[in-house]
Amino acid sequence: MKILLHVCCGPCSTASVERLREKGYDVVLFFPNSNIYPEGEWEKRLENARKIAELHGLELVVGEYDHSAWREFVRGLENEKEGGARCLRCFEFNLAKTAKKARELGIENFTTTLTVSRFKNSSQIAEVGRVVGARIGVNFLEHDFKKQGGFEKSVELAKKFDLYRQNYCGCEFSLRN
Ligand code: SF4
């Protein structure tokens, strides 16, 4: 079964890609992530996503970087704490981009590496994914990649492949924190 995987960064994609491939999915990677600031950081994370694509021989589709559009989408939520309403909007932004890209590519399913993070609530991500998928007409497949040691595995593989590991979530508000 083909699936478009939203990749938030290289380290998070390591264990997620392995898990999906073990389950027999035909994985295509998608890197949008206009939430990431500054653009140089987006490029660094993209570079890591390219490494993972090359390691597994997978196609990587790169989205347009438009941080202004993301800022507009989260307007009014700038001072929210990490894990709050701004993050839900942020998930919606990237998951809607992924669902639209999946539809454009004729891929019926999508999911996200975001659930590998122990700092993110996988149920909230899945809820946003289901709503967005229903709206756009693509199936969101719920995979909680942090389960069964997925987070620890992503740390181990990131070291093994010598990937850059960022120390903030992505946007300027998380950088400030
Ligand atoms: S903290 Fe992370 S998830 Fe929350 S809005 Fe910023 S980039 Fe998005």
Give the model confidence (pLDDT) of 7-36 as tens digits. 999 999 999 999 999 999 999 999 999 999
DSSP-derived letter for residue 168 is S
Give 166: exposed, middle or buried? Use CB within 10 Å, 0-12, 13-18, 19+: middle
Token digits for 86?
Answer: 């701004």
Mean per-residue pLDDT of the chain: 96
174 contact partners, CB below 8 Å, separation of at least 6 = 82, 168
**How far, in Å, from the CA of 175 to the mean position of ligand 1?**
10
For residue 173, report the phi and psi dihedrals to the nearest 5 degrees. Answer: -75, -35
Instruction: Judge whether residue 177 has pLDDT over 80.
Output: no
* Ligand 1 atom, smallest distance to 83 CA: 4
DSSP-derived letter for residue 81 is P
pTM of this structure:
0.97
For residue 38, what is the domain's CATH number? Answer: 3.40.50.620
pLDDT per position as a tens digit, 96-121: 999 999 999 999 999 999 999 999 99
**How far, in Å, from the CA of 22 to the mean position of ligand 1?**
29
Cα gap 18→131, rounded to integer Å:
26
DSSP-derived letter for residue 109 is E
**How far, in Å, from the CA of 126 to the mean position of ligand 1?**
16
Nearest CA to ligand 1 atom 5: 87
What's the structural domain count of the chain?
1
pLDDT per position as a tens digit, 131-150: 999 999 999 999 999 999 99
CB-CB contact of 58 with 88 (8 Å): no
Q: How many CB atoms lie within 10 A of CB 57?
A: 6
Q: 């570079």: which residue's tokens?
A: 47
Domain extent, residue 131, equals: 2-176
| Chain centroid offset of residue 66 CA | 16
